[in-house]
Structure 1
Amino acid sequence: MNEQGEKEKMQRAKDECFALLEGKVSMNQLCNISDTELETLYCEGYNAWNNGDIETAAQRFAFVAMQRPNDRRFIFAFACVLKQAECWASALSLYGYAIAMQADDPYAVFHVAECLQAVGNIEGARDALDATISLCFYQAMENPAYADLRQAAEAQLSRLNS
């Protein structure tokens, strides 16, 4: 390749990097991976997880989360499978990211409480359970599932306090 061709190639790479950093393009777009392919991989991960194949689920969820890091579903699913694999610190990081993306989700906060308890941070777990209960209280009228989660958080908090 000649010098001009190299310069053009470098400029394209630079432009693509800036577009990625500025949120104008996603990683899957840069890699020519379609949204349909990502959704298929996400479904494969979910099915693997439901079938107890944590390794495959983690691989699929990690890949889709890296390709589209602003898709909360992918981040949350990856966090859940990491929690199940007892990778507490990594799961906590991803749950934190998921909470930052949707602060009113009590499920992510509840999972944070479980991870904190697993690593021995009981005070942090209590705080997260209190937050879960508060979030559920305000949302239970819209979705009855939040009432069940609130009861689970209250029971867990009661066990921690006894």
Structure 2
Amino acid sequence: MDRCEEFHPLIVGLLDGELTPEETQRINTHLSRCEHCRKEFDEMREITGKLKVPPFHEVEDEELERIWNSPHSRLVRNSGLVMMVGGYLTLILFALYEFFMSNDDEVLPKFAVAAMIIGFGITLGAVILARLKSYKHDKYTEVER
């Protein structure tokens, strides 16, 4: 049993395939004679077999492009965008309704907030329209990343 201690690193090396042919022959000879080490080797081999992870295969660009352009993917993206924008608009309209329908006598803050919201909407609309018009002539639309 004391002699078996020198074979423990060789057992691990055998499992990892890191031994020289001489070391492999030496440990195999010992395993054929020593039941204790053979049992330990079998247990370690079973454990390492369970720990091995299948290799990760990266998806090809063509497959990703096909998935991205599929009708289901476009439907999900567009419906998510519609729901998000609809939710924001609903919240803004509700806030405006509450703001203007409150019984406060202060009119100046109401006009200031309304001007800010209207100004933001006009600016956002102008940016979106400019982007839509320039998209057809954008020389970088065909660039793949």
Scaled by the length of structure 1, what TM-score is found?
0.24
Structure 1 or 2, whichever has the larger Rg, is 2
Scaled by the length of structure 2, what TM-score is found?
0.26
